[in-house]
Amino acid sequence: MRKYITDFTIVGKQVYNEMYFSLVLKHPEQLPEIEPGQFVEVDVPGNKQVMLRRPISIHDVDTENNTLTLLVQVVGKGTRTLAALNVGDKLNLVYPLGHGFSLEGKNVMLVGGGAGIAPLLHLSKCFASKGIRPTILLGGRTTNHIPVQKEFEPYGTIGFATEDGSLGEKGMVTQHSLFTNSYDRIYTCGPTPMMKAVARYAMQNNIECEVSLENMMACGIGACLCCVVDSDEGHKCVCKEGPVFNAKKLTNWINN
Ligand SMILES: Cc1cc2nc3c(=O)[nH]c(=O)nc-3n(C[C@H](O)[C@H](O)[C@H](O)COP(=O)(O)OP(=O)(O)OC[C@H]3O[C@@H](n4cnc5c(N)ncnc54)[C@H](O)[C@@H]3O)c2cc1C
Ligand code: FES
């Protein structure tokens, strides 16, 4: 799939709380096809301390208006600089990067935690366009850790799990009452311990499972080898051969 390096203009910004914000980015021309689970490498403007681009999942795609939305958690200097940008500012992106989710399965569950919720909105919409309504389970420590909630409602059956009980069921997302073995495929993105627990459950119950890894990255195109995962087929670049992998190929990763 062809990659592009393009300046986008910020045409929308939403601040959910002190941790999360989203940016709507307008492309000057027609957007290429974007798989759910693919990501962009963002050049962080105006901060000389941030040399490397930052990988961020594509949260939403609007092909009529040629916009992409990024949902970002502020964790360090790069994301803090992005949080200070405003409508009218430009952002340079390399995109669309990596291999996305397969969109296979008819009775599917999507499980997201924290910033890992980001790629699941575009994934939900792609399933909806195939006439499939997934079960979508979103987890976080508190309701503030699940910044995007209502946006998912048109596309599936939604369940929330928070550790403090401030939204949905109290506990881990893997303890939610909708987290059962009745699905034929599970898609997950979020904190590593959560994804490992989801993948382990899927494998124990003979359910196909796709996990989207968020390893540290630099080049984003398979050149620097800083993002490798120890898969069952040897070392794989998460940026190029992932970020989405079938859990069956990651038994080393799941069990370590
Ligand atoms: C394929 C992919 C998709 C991603 N999608 C999103 C997304 O949609 N939204 C989002 O908010 N974040 C996403 N991330 C994580 C995001 O790239 C990092 O949070 C970001 O690069 C941190 O940059 P920074 O300069 O703010 O932090 P830094 O100053 O570089 O680091 C601050 C802290 O964050 C930690 N950190 C940095 N990168 C990562 C990472 N990749 N995973 C876990 N911890 C990290 C560092 O260890 C450090 O403790 C994604 C990462 C990958 C690889
Ligand atoms: S980030 Fe450079 S090889 Fe993956």
My answer on whether 85 and 29 are in the same domain is: yes
Nearest atom (ligand 1) to Cα of 217: 53
Tell me: do 179 and 116 sit in the same domain.
yes
Those residues with Cβ within 8 angstroms of residue 146's Cβ, 6 or more apart along the chain or in another chain: 117, 138, 139, 140, 160, 162, 167
Q: How confident is the model at residue 46 (pLDDT cuts 50, 70, 90)?
A: confident
Q: Are strands 228-231 and 234-237 parallel, antiparallel or unpaired?
A: antiparallel
User: pLDDT tens, 111-136?
Assistant: 999 999 999 999 999 999 999 999 99
Q: What is the CATH number of the domain that holds 177?
A: 3.40.50.80
Residue 242 lies in a domain: no
Q: Is the C-beta atom of 115 inside 6 A of ligand 1?
A: yes
Is residue 160 located within the same domain as residue 190?
yes
Tell me the pLDDT band of 41, cut-offs 50, 70 and 90.
very high
Is 181 inside any structural domain?
yes
For the residues 230-253, what does the mean pLDDT come to?
94
Helix (H) or strand (E) holding 79: helix 77-83
Residue 199 domain boundaries: 108-212
Tell me: do 76 and 115 sit in the same domain.
no
Asked if the bond preceding 147 is cis, omega within 30° of 0, the reply is no
> What is the reported pLDDT for 139?
97
Q: Is the pLDDT of residue 47 over 90?
A: no
| 204 and 121 in a common domain | yes
Q: Which atom of ligand 1 is nearest to the CA of 70?
A: 8
Is there an atom of ligand 2 within 6 Å of 243 CB?
no
Residue 135: what pLDDT?
Answer: 98
Of the three residues 52, 71, 97, the one that is the final residue of a domain is 97
Asked whether 217 lines ligand 2 (CB < 6 A), one says: yes
Q: How far is CA 229 from CA 36, 95, 97, 219, 254, in A?
A: 21, 21, 17, 15, 11
pLDDT, averaged across the chain: 95
Q: Are residues 147 and 76 in the same domain?
A: no
pTM to 2 decimal places: 0.96
Which runs of E-coded beta strand occur in the chain? 4-15, 20-26, 39-43, 54-57, 60-62, 67-73, 90-97, 108-113, 135-140, 157-162, 169-170, 185-189, 208-212, 228-231, 234-237, 244-246
Could you tell me the distance, in angstroms and rounded to a whole number, from the CA of residue 38 to the centre of ligand 2? 14
Query: Which band of pLDDT confidence, cut at 50, 70 and 90, is reported for residue 49?
Result: confident
Domain annotation covers residue 217: no
Q: Which two tokens stand for residue 210?
A: 């796709």
Q: Looking at the structure, do residues 93 and 113 belong to the same domain, yes or no? A: no
Count up the domains in the chain and report the number: 2
Question: Which residue, of 97, 126, 151, is where some domain finishes?
Answer: 97
Mark whether 208 and 112 lie in a shared domain.
yes
198 part of a folded domain: yes
Position 237 pLDDT exceeds 90: yes
Domain boundary residue, one of 97, 131, 157: 97
92 and 122 belong to one structural domain: no
Taking alpha carbons only, the member of 80, 65, 85 closest to residue 23 is 85
Give me the helices (H) in 108-165, please: 118-129
- The string of pLDDT tens digits covering residues 177-216 is 999 999 999 999 999 999 999 999 999 999 999 999 999 9
CATH number at residue 45: 2.40.30.10
The two three-digit tokens of residue 228, written as one number = 């490798």
